[in-house]
């Protein structure tokens, strides 16, 4: 695979994730869109590392850090979703109109 192919794939992941995050009203789908965006960014970073880093371990370390941040973000996000569902019985973003004020 070439760098251009990997960057196009990363751009596609970011685009699909952005569409998913902005168009869906379910909390779970919103979180999945954010994960796709982070996966696209991580793929672009790894592609740049592989084609320009000449085997330096910094790119791998960056990828591991991004994966750890993704895991923490998902755990915190789902904890918030569970807390909102228990408190308000709402599973979509439209059902939480009183949080806008």
- The whole-number pLDDT of residue 86 equals 81
DSSP string of 1-45? --HHHHHHHHHHHHHHHHHHHHH--BHHHHHHHHHHHHHHHHHHH
Q: What are phi and psi of 25, to 5 degrees?
A: -110, -10
- Helix and strand numbers (H, E) in the chain are 3, 0
- The whole-number pLDDT of residue 63 equals 82
pLDDT tens per residue across span 5-42: 999 999 999 999 999 989 887 778 888 898 899 899 88
Contacts of residues 48-55 at CB distance under 8 Å and 24 or more positions apart, as own/partner, are 48/3, 51/3
What is the pTM (predicted TM-score) of this model?
0.75
Indicate whether 91 pLDDT > 70. no
* Phi-psi sector, 24: left (phi>0), alpha (psi -120 to 50), beta: beta
Q: Which architecture, in CATH terms, is 3-94?
A: Orthogonal Bundle (1.10)
Q: Where are the domains of the chain?
A: 3-94
8 Å CB contact between 81 and 90? no
């Amino acid at each position: 695979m070439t760098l251009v192919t990997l960057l196009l794939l990363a751009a596609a992941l970011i685009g699909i994730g952005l569409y998913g995050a902005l168009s869906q009203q379910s909390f779970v789908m919103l979180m999945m869109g954010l994960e796709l965006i982070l996966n696209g960014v991580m793929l672009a970073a790894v592609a740049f590392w592989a084609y320009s880093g000449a085997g330096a371990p910094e790119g791998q370390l960056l990828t591991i850090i991004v994966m750890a941040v993704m895991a923490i973000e998902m755990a915190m996000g789902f904890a918030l979703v569970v807390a909102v569902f228990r408190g308000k019985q709402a599973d979509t973003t439209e059902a939480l109109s009183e949080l806008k004020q």
